[in-house]
Structure 1
Amino acid sequence: MTDNTAELAYQAQVQRDLPRNFVVHLVHGMLGQTGFRLVNTPTFVPAYILLLSGGSDFAVGLALALQALGSTLTPMISANLVGHRQRVLPMGIVTGGAMRLCVLALALAGFFLPQNVALYAVIASLGLFGLFAGMQIVVFQTLLAKVIPVSNRGKLTGLRNFLAGITTALVAWYGGHYLLGEPPSVIGYSWIFLISFGLTSAGLLFLALVREPVPPTVAARQRLWQQIGSVPHFLRQDPQFRHYVVARALTTMGRMALPFYILYAGASIGLSGQTLAVLTIAFTLAATLSNLVWGALADRSGFRVVFLGSVLLWIAATLALLLSREYWAVIVVFVGIGAAQEGFRIAAMNMTLEFGHRDQLPLRLGIANSSAEAAGALAPLLGGILATLLGYESVFLAATAFLSAGALLLILRVPEPRQRH
């Protein structure tokens, strides 16, 4: 079979299995993201750590920095493990399962350990969660790129995240009103994380129904140190991708503000279970509804436009919180942050898929994700230091500066990747 014939046969199989794989990814993403959003939203985990630590902003920053550090260390390892494989789904099941066990550990620590010991267990669990998350995203994005054509990714991402947002909002409402307690308790948070584990585990089981095609070519197998050593040359060969990596890392530094939005607002409106539920619902519903807009915009104009639009919205919401901490103003701010975070997340992930040849995709994902998560590891730690020494306002201003720098670099040096094809 000639190379061209093999490629045509591969594309034909992708189209033939697209309806099934679209539905499988939709359901897997809805269940998985519902659970992981309960962990990653800037409400429950920061407030949980603040409670366990007795009110330490530094502990909040440290825990989230370790989570991001874990995500920094493993994408290149994951890229090395799957780059030469014809099928990547089995590796995804392994890494995804390990990631879910870390969420279970968040719950069990609160149920069974003394509060001071639970703090260390939670921090360790978040670090391990980051390690496996860094591996999982490379595997799952490689799988998605194989089975979902680029013209359908915006639609899938938007609809998947829309459904996940609805279920997350429902679980957050139930958790805030019936599980957390007044005032919120360690056991209440543990129940929420136990629900997260159940939902994400169900989604992972559903992913086993994917029909993964065998590509006509894969990258040659390399040792990890050889692959890492090739990164500088790889980046020199593709300056647009290099600038994208830097722009994404700069904007990711804006995450330094995420855990402190709720703490800053809580200083004036309180951190009751009902308040946490309302703000989490505002955050998730905004992300939910915005997905339909971001997805449609991406399919029509590309993910670069979504990237820039989401960053501008993120900047506006951050500055708005500095202007008012009235209850309704805080809700509006969390709506803006939720929509911005969702747009940035789907744009950053999907732009990476569009820069080069399919065989190089795991390496591109490894480079882009490691760089972004390195910034994500530094960001909350720097945010915690700034919050402790200079106050929350300095964190928000620094985050705004990084977001602006990343957006400017993308505007000036990174054209729409789809124009390359």
Structure 2
Amino acid sequence: MSSTRPSMFRAVLHRVEHRMLGPMSAELRHNVWVETVASMLFGLFWATTIGFFPVILRNMGASGDQLSVYVVFQSLGLIFTPFSAALFQRYRIIKVSQVFWYIGRGTLLLVPFVGTNVNAFMVLVGIFWICELVPAPGYVRLLERLYPDNLRGRIMGFVRIGMTAAILTMTPIAGWLLDTFGYAIILPSIAVAGLIANYMFGKLIGNDAPAVREEKHIRPTLGQILAELSRNRPFVIFLILNTIFGCGTLIGAPLYAIVQVSRLQLSYTEVGYLGTLQSVTWLLGNFVWGGLIDKKGPLFVLMISILCAALMPLSFMVATSFWWLVPAFICQGLVFGGFDLGFTNAAIALADRSKLEIYFSALHVVAGIRGIAIPLLTPILMAARVDEFFIFAAGGVMVLLSALLVYRIRMPQPAFA
């Protein structure tokens, strides 16, 4: 009897896989399931750490200025993506990525040693964010190599279903665990799941060889990057769109934890409930986004995601209770899935495939500069006695303005035929 259960379980998984993705080669199936398992483990890690970092900091006594620096950390690693792109020209993509992720996630094992020292905790979190984001261009190149164009959207959606299911399951549990046992015990414990996820990522098979052959190991100069971008007007519009969108989402970001903890006085458990709602719509969206990308193209999904994102700052602008934030987190879940898939697939389609690292390095460096400058503008505005209402309103307006630029982008026809 017991021997039939695993085979029945595999049969169900195979049926779900075939229904969502269709027939695949053995190597492609292996990579899909390896990345799905790794993403589920990362989902457990994500739900317990990234979703609670700002609230933990505020409860530790972090000021508005310190929360702004934390938001900067979320973009700081992107500044170093040209460095990682150069590494990917010489070393295997997966191995380089694993080194950074082992270091970054491993820093959370040191949380018990920092006690209630806000600055020391921020140093650990800063190292984590830098190491987590530096390998970003390599991961995009890996997606482009491992998965065919006609399946990439659906496969990315399938993988993210596993990750968001794990986040959905773990988020309310994480809130209760943090309220009950404290971050000093829970964060290093869940870091183990992040490290195992990194180990599983190394089981992917396929072409992860250096991005450029030995004879082409020339790191592009700023002039070369600008010259390449100047030849691709749709990508430049896409870059401007992403910059305006990011400014809109970032300008109010340092205030989110202040609203949740100081104005609304939410507990970790209540923050966990909001995260659960976010995870539900993230999960449900992933059943739809991948297919929509393959049928209607990534810009369609990007547009819907941008419109949903505008509700986040607008809800915080008027929030007077827990319930005012419910619509914001529901829409934010849709954004997490839709913007990620739409952005990545649109960027791959618009870029020159032979120079993906150049294009994504440009995207990430601009995002990094934006992510450093805009959050630091927020405490300046607060010091000038600009009301939170107007800061959130400005964010919502910028997000909506970025949606208008979607109509100016012309996708190359062969990319999503």
Same fold, TM-score > 0.5, yes or no: yes
Give me the whole-angstrom Cα distance separating, in 1, the residues matched to 2:89 and 2:211. Answer: 11
Gaps of 5+ in 1: 1-13, 182-186
Q: What secondary structure is seen at the aligned counterpart in 1 of 2:327?
A: helix
Instruction: Establish whether residue 28 from structure 1 lines up as the match of residue 33 from structure 2.
Output: no
Write the distance in 2 (CA, Å) between the matches of 1:387 and 1:299.
Answer: 44
User: How far 1:223 moved relative to its partner?
Assistant: 4.3
Q: In the alignment, what sits opposite 1:47?
A: 55
SS of equivalent to 1:74: helix
- The aligned residue for residue 345 of structure 1 is 340
Q: Which residue of 2 aligns with 1:66?
A: 73
Query: Are 1:212 and 2:206 matched, yes or no?
Result: yes
Please, which of 63, 72, 88 is the counterpart of residue 93 of structure 2? 88
> Do residues 294 (structure 1) and 289 (structure 2) align?
yes
TM-fit CA distance, 1:333 = 2.1
Distance (Å, rounded) in 1 between the aligned partners of 2:157 and 2:113: 38
The gaps in structure 2 that reach 5 residues or longer are 1-23
Distance apart, 1:15 and its partner CA: 5.3
Distance 2:114 2:208 in 1: 47
Separation in structure 1 between the aligned mates of residue 208 and residue 332 of structure 2, nearest angstrom:
40
Structure 1 counterpart of 2:72, one-letter code: A
Amino acid across the alignment from 1:94? V
Is the 1:74–1:132 Cα contact (8 Å) retained in structure 2?
no
Amino acid of the structure 2 residue aligned with 1:78: S
Q: Match of 2:18?
A: none
Distance 2:78 2:177 in 1: 36
Contact 2:58 2:261 survives alignment (8 Å): no
Distance 1:211 1:174 in 2: 34
What is the rounded CA distance, in whole Å, between the counterparts of 1:213 and 1:281 in structure 2? 37
Judging changes above 3 Å, is the alpha-carbon distance between structure 1 residues 292 and 260 closer, same or farther for their aligned structure 2 residues? farther
Q: Please say if residues 177 and 274 of structure 1, whose CA atoms lie closer than 8 Å, have aligned partners that are also in contact.
A: yes
1:241 maps to 2:246: no
CA offset digits 1:319-363 (Å, max 9, x no partner): 244345343332222111222233222322332222234331122
Q: Given the alignment, which residue of 106, 112, 118 partners 1:101?
A: 106
CA distance in 2, matches of 1:330, 1:19: 39
Match of residue 130 from structure 2: 131
Give the counterpart letter for 1:264 in structure 2. V
> Which residue does 1:393 correspond to in 2?
389
Cα offset, 1:100, TM superposition: 1.5
Q: Which amino acid aligns with 2:388?
A: Y
After superposition, where does 1:397-412 map in structure 2 within 5 Å? 397-412=393-408
Shift of 1:217: 8.5
Q: Which residue in the other structure is 1:151 paired with?
A: 150
CA distance in 1 between partners of 2:202 and 2:93 (Å): 12
CA–CA distance in structure 1, aligned partners of residues 392 and 259 of structure 2 = 10
Distance 1:251 1:143 in 2: 26
Deviation at 1:61, TM superposition (A): 1.1
TM normalised by structure 1 equals 0.84
CA contact (8 A) 1:67 1:128 kept: no
- Computed over aligned residues only, the root mean square deviation of the Cα atoms, in angstroms, reads 2.6
The SS at the match of 2:349 is coil
Alignment match of 2:28 (pick from 4, 18, 22): 18
Measured in 2, the distance between the counterparts of 1:35 and 1:375 equals 27
TM-aligned CA deviation for residue 411 of structure 1: 1.9
- Partner in structure 1 of residue 174 of structure 2: 175
Alignment partners' CA distance in 1, 2:281 and 2:186:
21
The 1:155–1:228 alpha-carbon spacing in structure 2 relative to 1, beyond 3 Å, is same
User: How much has 1:257 moved relative to structure 2?
Assistant: 2.6
Using the TM superposition, give the Cα deviation of residue 310 of structure 1 relative to its aligned residue in structure 2, in angstroms: 0.5
The equivalent position to 1:57 in structure 2, one of 41, 53, 64, is: 64
Flag the 1:383–1:287 CA change in 2: closer, same or farther, 3 A.
farther
Residues 237 and 266 of structure 1, relative CA distance in 2, 3 Å threshold:
same
Q: CA deviation at 1:101?
A: 1.9
CA-CA distance at 1:83 after TM superposition: 3.5
CA deviations 1:75-130 (Å, max 9, x no partner) are: 11111221465x422212212222222343xxx33x22242xx3112222232223
Residue 10 (structure 1) aligns with: none
Q: CA deviation at 1:376?
A: 2.1
Change (3 A) 1:360 1:376: same
Q: 1:125 to 1:214 in 2, by over 3 A?
A: closer
Partner residue of 1:76 out of 73, 82, 103: 82
Distance 1:294 1:274 in 2: 29
Contact 1:83 1:360 in 2 (8 A): no
State the 1:55 CA deviation. 5.0
Question: Post-superposition, which runs of at least 4 consecutive aligned residues in structure 1 deviate over 4 A?
Answer: 214-217, 265-268, 417-421
| Cα distance change, pair 56–295 in 1 and its aligned pair in 2 (3 A) | same
Task: Give the residue type in structure 2 aligned to 1:378.
Answer: A
Distance 1:99 1:57 in 2: 25
Matched residues in 1 for 2:362 and 2:105: separation? 24
State the one-letter code of the partner of 1:47: V
Deviation for aligned residue 1:60 = 0.7
Tell me the TM-score normalised to structure 2 length.
0.85
CA distance in 2 between partners of 1:216 and 1:40 (Å)? 30
What is the alpha-carbon distance in structure 2 between the residues aligned to residue 363 and residue 325 of structure 1? 45
Letter in 1 for 2:294: D
- Whether contact under 8 Å (2:44, 2:193) holds in the other structure is yes
Q: Distance in 2 between matches of 1:260 and 1:268?
A: 10
- Specify the SS of the correspondent of 2:34: helix
Instruction: Tell me what 2:361 maps to.
Output: 366
Does structure 2 retain, via aligned residues, the 8 Å contact 1:97–1:201?
A: yes
Q: Which amino acid aligns with 1:49?
A: L
What is the SS of the residue equivalent to 2:203?
Answer: coil
- Identity over aligned pairs, percent: 20
